[in-house]
Amino acid sequence: MNAADAWLMIFGVALVSLAPRILPVAIFSRRKMPPWLEKWLSYVAPAVLGALAAVSILAPNGSLELSRENLYLWAALPTFAAGLITRSIFLTLLVGIAVMAALFHLLG
């Protein structure tokens, strides 16, 4: 593909990336949402985070890795503990990054 195709791709991807985020807000801001839908949507955040966390730790490279060699699994344990204790995103992030860097140098 040439440069013009690349630009077409960029604009096309931009359209389909931004529209799904903007349109639902534009549509539902102006009309009432049925209560059951509102309730269902309140479960979207816990569900999405559960899915993202599980995949990023247990399948960091695109397939399930339930082995001792999976550093993400080991790094997740102290990170979970830090999250439960501190309840701070920033501190949890620092613990996770520090543990991962240490694991990388010790075992990686």
Partner 1 sequence: MNTQELKQGFKDSFPIILGYLPLGFTFGVLARDAGLSLLQAVAMSVLCFTGAGQFIAAGMFKAGGSLIAIILTNLLVNLRYALFAASTVPYLRERIPPALAAALSYGLTDEVYAVSMNRYRRHPAATPYLAALVACSHLGWIGSTLAGALLGSFISSTDRLGLNFALPAMYISLLIILLRRRSHIYAALAAACTALLVGQLFPSTMANKFNIIAATLVGATLGVIWDERR
- Interaction residues for partner 1, span 69-108 (CB under 8 A): 72, 75-76, 79-80, 82-84, 87-90, 92-93, 95-105, 108
Buried b (16+ CB within 10 A) or exposed e, 21-53: eeeeeeeeeeeeeeeeeeeeeeeeeeeeeeeee
Q: Using CA atoms, how far apart are residues 100 and 90, in angstroms rounded to an integer? A: 15
User: CB-wise, 46 or 69, nearer to partner 1?
Assistant: 46
| Among 34, 62, 67, 69, contact with partner 1 (rule: CB under 8 A) | 62
- 23-27 contacts, C-beta under 8 A, 24 or more apart: none
User: CB-wise, 46 or 67, nearer to partner 1?
Assistant: 46
Shortest distance, position 79 Cβ to partner 1, whole Å: 5
Shortest distance, position 35 Cβ to partner 1, whole Å: 10
Site for partner 1 in 28-47 (CB under 8 A): 28-30, 33, 36-47
Q: How far is CA 80 from the centre of its chain?
A: 16
